[in-house]
């Protein structure tokens, strides 16, 4: 297990990420210098990067986890083509409803399905809520048809589709591009990086994914990317919805069924996300995703 050491020298705190490694009967320690006087968000990002170098990501999944994922992938590959459209409509309705509900949308599952496939607008709902449902499906469909790698252009297009007609006029210049203002996350005592640093942080995340998408297990890569994306919070709004689409894109590209995080599991999701962001511990997120994949009968 990896842990962070803090060494105080003069007035500065020096951070190191360490991992104990057993070599025969001996236990040795590998360390990586993280930086000096880091903020909480800088430390969390540095810890995740160091864990990759220390081989932590390679050991996050047990043999049992990998066997389970292999069986899920095999079962998914055997899903009949004749049910694909039915599975698509069911999954996108569920995924859109829950992903927007997590962010506060009040449409019911039935209302979301009727809106998406029967063009029936619910009564008593705001135009913004209705457009959030429509935009999420458009972004999802765009993701399904996309056959290239993750890039800034791809991410920004997902954001543009997700956020269309859902925000105030004064924020229109923030749609489909990295934010130029500071954002804050309710319920957390740290803030995402300032706007001037967003582009560099996102470039680092995309570089990590490019280098590791064939090394790390797809589930680990998907979760790691999602955690990193949410740390940066590159957009003024819609980060959660876009981030969950991107996480599913990685699973989908690698032959795994996509995962819907139910709104009823929102607190567990946020807690797992926060532990990954603040402690560098991805295991609670992995456990949640494995349970959702194992328990779901719907594979798309």
Residues in Cβ contact with 230 at an 8 Å cutoff, skipping those fewer than 6 apart: 239, 240, 243, 273, 277
How, if at all, do strands 26-36 and 12-23 pair? Answer: antiparallel
- Integer CA distances (angstroms), 45 to 65, 81, 139, 278, 297, in order: 25, 41, 27, 9, 35
Q: Find the range with the poorest average confidence among 1-15, 39-53, 74-88.
A: 39-53
Q: State the average pLDDT over residues 143-172.
A: 96
Does residue 24 have a pLDDT over 60? no
Q: How far apart are CA 168 and CA 127, in angstroms?
A: 12
Thinking of the domain 39-295, which architecture would CATH place it in?
Answer: Orthogonal Bundle (1.10)
Q: What is the rounded average pLDDT for all residues in the chain?
A: 92
As a three-state string, the secondary structure of 2-57 is EEEEEEEECCEEEEEEEEEEEECCEEEEEEEEEEECCCHHHHHHHHHHHHHHCCCH
Q: Up-side HSE of residue 71: CA atoms within 13 Å toward CB?
A: 10
Q: Write down the residue that tokens 């810890």 correspond to.
A: 47
Per-domain boundaries in the chain: 39-295
Q: What is the pLDDT of residues 32-70, one digit of tens each?
A: 999 999 998 788 888 878 877 776 676 789 999 999 999
Q: Which two structure tokens, joined as six digits, stand for 208?
A: 């990590």
Q: What is the pLDDT of residues 206-224, one digit of tens each?
A: 999 998 899 899 999 999 9
Task: Report pLDDT for 132.
Answer: 98
pTM of structure: 0.85
Q: State the average pLDDT over residues 235-248.
A: 98
Phi then psi for 22, rounded to 5 degrees?
-90, 125
Does residue 1 have a pLDDT over 80? no
Alpha helices in the chain (DSSP H): 40-53, 63-77, 84-102, 109-118, 127-145, 152-163, 195-212, 218-232, 239-253, 266-279, 283-295
Give the residue from 103, 100, 102 showing the smallest Cα distance to 130: 100
Q: How far apart are CA 244 and CA 196, in angstroms?
A: 24
Does residue 21 have a pLDDT over 70? no
Q: Which two structure tokens, joined as six digits, stand for 223?
A: 């979760």
Q: What is the pLDDT of residues 103-139, one digit of tens each?
A: 999 999 999 999 999 999 999 999 999 999 999 999 9
DSSP bridge partners of 108:
none
- For 15, counting Cβ atoms within 10 Å of its Cβ (0-12 exposed, 13-18 middle, 19+ buried), the class is buried
Give the residue from 276, 184, 199 showing the smallest Cα distance to 234: 199
CA torsion through residues 100, 258, 48, 234, sign:
negative
């Amino acid at each position: 297990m990896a842990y962070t050491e803090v060494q105080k020298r003069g007035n500065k705190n020096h951070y190191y990420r360490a991992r104990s490694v057993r070599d025969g009967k001996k236990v040795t320690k590998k360390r990586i210098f993280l930086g000096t006087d880091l903020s909480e968000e800088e430390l969390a990002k540095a810890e995740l990067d160091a864990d990759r170098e220390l081989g932590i990501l390679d050991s996050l999944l047990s043999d049992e986890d990998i066997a389970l994922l292999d069986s899920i992938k095999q079962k998914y590959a055997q899903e009949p083509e004749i049910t694909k459209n039915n599975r698509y409509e069911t999954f996108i309705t569920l995924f859109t409803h829950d992903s927007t509900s997590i962010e506060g949308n009040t449409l019911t599952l039935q209302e979301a399905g009727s809106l998406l496939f029967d063009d029936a607008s619910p009564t008593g709902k705001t135009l913004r809520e209705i457009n959030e449902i429509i935009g999420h499906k458009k972004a999802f469909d765009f993701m399904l048809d996309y056959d290239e790698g993750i890039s800034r252009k791809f991410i920004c297009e997902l954001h543009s589709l997700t956020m269309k007609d859902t925000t105030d006029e004064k924020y229109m210049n923030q749609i489909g591009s990295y934010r130029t203002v500071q954002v804050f996350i309710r319920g957390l005592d740290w803030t995402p990086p300032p706007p001037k640093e967003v582009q560099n942080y996102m470039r680092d995340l995309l570089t990590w994914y490019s280098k590791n998408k064939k090394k790390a297990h797809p589930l680990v890569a998907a979760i790691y990317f999602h955690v990193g994306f949410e740390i940066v919070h590159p957009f003024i709004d819609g980060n959660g919805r876009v981030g969950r689409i991107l996480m599913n894109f990685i699973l989908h590209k690698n032959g795994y069924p996509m995962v819907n995080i139910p709104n009823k599991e929102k607190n567990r999701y946020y807690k797992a996300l926060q532990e990954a962001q603040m402690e560098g511990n991805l295991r609670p997120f992995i456990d949640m995703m494995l349970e959702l994949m194992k328990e779901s009968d719907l594979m798309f």
